[in-house]
Chain A
Amino acid sequence: MIRIGIDVGGTNTDAVVMDGSTVIAGVKAATTADVMTGVVNALKDVLAASGMAASAVDVVMIGTTHFTNAVVQRRDLAQTAAVRLGLPATASLPPMVDWPEDLKQAIGGTWYLAHGGNEFDGRVISPLNEEELLGIAADIKAKGINTVAISSVFSPVTSDFEKQAGEIFAKALPGAHITLSSEIGRIGLLERENAAIMNACLRDLSAHVIAAFRAAITEAGIKGKFFLTQNDGTLMDAAFAEKFPVLTFASGPTNSMRGAAFLSGVKDAIVVDIGGTTSDVGSLHKGFPRQATVAVEVGGVRTNFRMPDVFSIGLGGGSHVVETRDGIKVGPTSVGYRIITEALIFGGDTLTTSDIVVASGRYELGDKSKVAHLPADLLARTQVKIMQMLEDCVERSRLSPDPLPVIVVGGGSILVDGPIGGLEVIKPNHFAVANAVGAAIAQVSGEVDRVYALAEISRDAALADAKQRATDAAVAAGARADSIEIVDVEDVPLAYLPGNATRVRVKAVGELHVA
Chain B
Amino acid sequence: MSRKPLAESYRLGFDDLEALTIGAALLGTGGGGNPYIGFLRAREVFRQGATVPVIPLEVLTQDDWVGEVGGIGAPVVSAEKFEQGDEGTRALAAVEAELGIEVAAMISGEIGGANAMEPVITAAKLGIGIVDGDGMGRAFPEVQMCTFFIYGGGVAPAAIADEKGNVVVYKHVIDMFWLERMARHTTVDMGATAMLALPPMRGDFVQKTAVPATVTQAVHIGRTVLKARKARKNVVETVVEETGAKLFFTGKITDIRRHLVGGFARGEAILSGLGDWAGSEAKIAIQNENLVLWVDGVPVLMVPDLIVNLELDTGEPLTTEVLRYGQRLAVIGLPAHDLLKTEKALEIIGPKAFGYPDLTYNPLEGKAK
Are B188 and A125 in touch, CB under 8 angstroms? no
- Give Cα A120 to B164, complex, Å: 15
Is A494 a contact partner of B80 (Cβ separation < 8 A)?
no
The binding surface of chain A is classed by DSSP as loop
Tell which of B11-19, B71-79, B215-223 binds the partner: B71-79
Q: Which residues of B contact A398 (CB under 8 A)?
A: 325-326
Q: In the complex the two chains form, is B191's CB within 8 Å of A120's CB? A: yes
| Chain A residues within 8 Å of chain B by Cβ, number | 40
A90 to B44: give the CA distance in the assembly, Å.
13
B174 within 8 A of A: no
Interface assignment of B207: CB less than 8 Å from any CB of chain A? no
Q: Contacts A401-B325, A495-B264, A497-B74 hold; do A93 and B188 have CB atoms under 8 A apart?
A: no
Q: Which of A87, A97, A189, A397 contacts B326 (CB 8 A)?
A: A397
Chain A, range 77-97, C-beta contacts under 8 Å to B:
86-94, 97
Instruction: Kindly list chain B residues whose C-beta atoms are within 8 Å of the C-beta of A154.
Output: 80-81
Across the interface, do A92 and B192 meet the contact criterion of CB distance under 8 Å? Answer: no
A120→B325 contact, CB < 8 A: no
B84 touches A (CB below 8 Å): yes
- In-complex Cβ contact of B40 among A98, A400, A497 (8 A): A98
Find out whether the CB atom of B325 lies under 8 angstroms from the CB atom of A89: no
- B40 to A97, Cβ gap below 8 A? yes
A399 to B81, Cβ gap below 8 A? no
Task: Give the CA-CA distance A90 to B212 in the complex, in Å.
Answer: 33
The CA of A117 and the CA of B327, in the complex, are separated in Å by: 38
- Name the residue on B nearest A503 (C-beta): B76
Minimum distance in angstroms from B179 CB to a CB of chain A: 15
A498 contacts chain B at the CB level, 8 A cutoff: yes
Q: List A contacts of B74 (CB < 8 A).
A: 120, 494-497, 501
On whether A189 and B77 interact (CB within 8 A), knowing A89-B163, A119-B192, A400-B325, the answer reads no
Q: With A120-B191, A187-B76, A497-B188 as given contacts, are A91 and B41 in contact (CB-CB < 8 Å)? A: no
Contact B80 A153 (CB under 8 A): yes
A145 shortest CB reach to chain B, Å: 24
Q: Which residue of A lies closest to B255 (CB)?
A: A401
| Chain B count of residues within 8 A CB distance of the other chain | 38
Could you tell me which residues of chain A, from 390 to 415, have a CB within 8 Å of some CB in chain B? Answer: 395-401
In the complex the two chains form, is A293's CB within 8 Å of B322's CB? yes
Does A135 reach chain B (CB closer than 8 Å)? no
The answer, among A94, A125, A395, A497, for a CB contact under 8 Å with B164, is: A125
Q: Is the pair B260, A493 in contact by a Cβ cutoff of 8 Å?
A: yes
Query: Which positions 292-322 of chain B face chain A at CB distance < 8 Å?
Result: 322
Chain B residue, CB-CB nearest to A499: B188
Nearest-neighbour CB distance to chain B for A376, whole angstroms, equals 30
The distance in angstroms between the C-alpha atoms of A98 and B21, with both chains bound, is 15
Q: Which of B30-57 contact A (CB under 8 A)?
A: 37, 40-41, 44
Contact assessment for A187 and B80 in the assembled complex, using a CB-CB cutoff below 8 Å: yes
Determine whether A188 belongs to the interface, using a CB cutoff of 8 Å to chain B.
Answer: yes
The verdict on A123 contacting chain B, using a C-beta distance below 8 Å, is yes
Which chain A positions have C-beta within 8 A of B77? 120, 497
Whether A380 is near chain B, meaning CB under 8 Å from some CB there, is no
> Is B346's CB within 8 Å of the partner chain A?
no
- CB proximity to B under 8 Å, residues A356-412: 395-401
Q: Is A294 an interface residue (CB 8 A)?
A: yes
Q: Which residues of A contact B260 (CB under 8 A)?
A: 493, 495
Q: Which A residue's beta carbon lies closest to that of B163?
A: A89
Q: How far is the CB of A305 from chain B (nearest CB, A)?
A: 15
Check B279 for interface membership: any CB of A closer than 8 A.
Answer: no
CB-contact partner of B85 in A91, A119, A123, A190, under 8 A: A91
User: Is B168 engaged at the interface, CB distance under 8 Å to the other chain?
Assistant: no
Given A93-B44, A493-B260, A497-B76, 14 more pairs with CB closer than 8 A: A90-B83, A91-B163, A92-B82, A92-B84, A154-B80, A187-B76, A189-B79, A189-B80, A397-B326, A495-B75, A495-B264, A496-B75, A497-B74, A497-B188
**29 sampled A-B residue pairs with Cβ under 8 A:** A87-B84, A88-B165, A89-B164, A90-B81, A91-B85, A98-B40, A119-B81, A119-B192, A120-B80, A120-B191, A125-B81, A125-B163, A125-B191, A126-B164, A153-B81, A187-B79, A188-B80, A189-B80, A190-B37, A293-B322, A396-B328, A401-B254, A493-B260, A494-B74, A495-B75, A496-B263, A497-B76, A498-B184, A503-B76
A-B pairs, top 5 by smallest CB distance, nearest first, are: A92-B85, A119-B191, A89-B163, A496-B74, A88-B84
Which residues on A are within 8 Å of B, measured CB to CB? 86-94, 97-98, 117, 119-120, 123, 125-126, 153-154, 187-190, 293-294, 395-401, 493-498, 501, 503
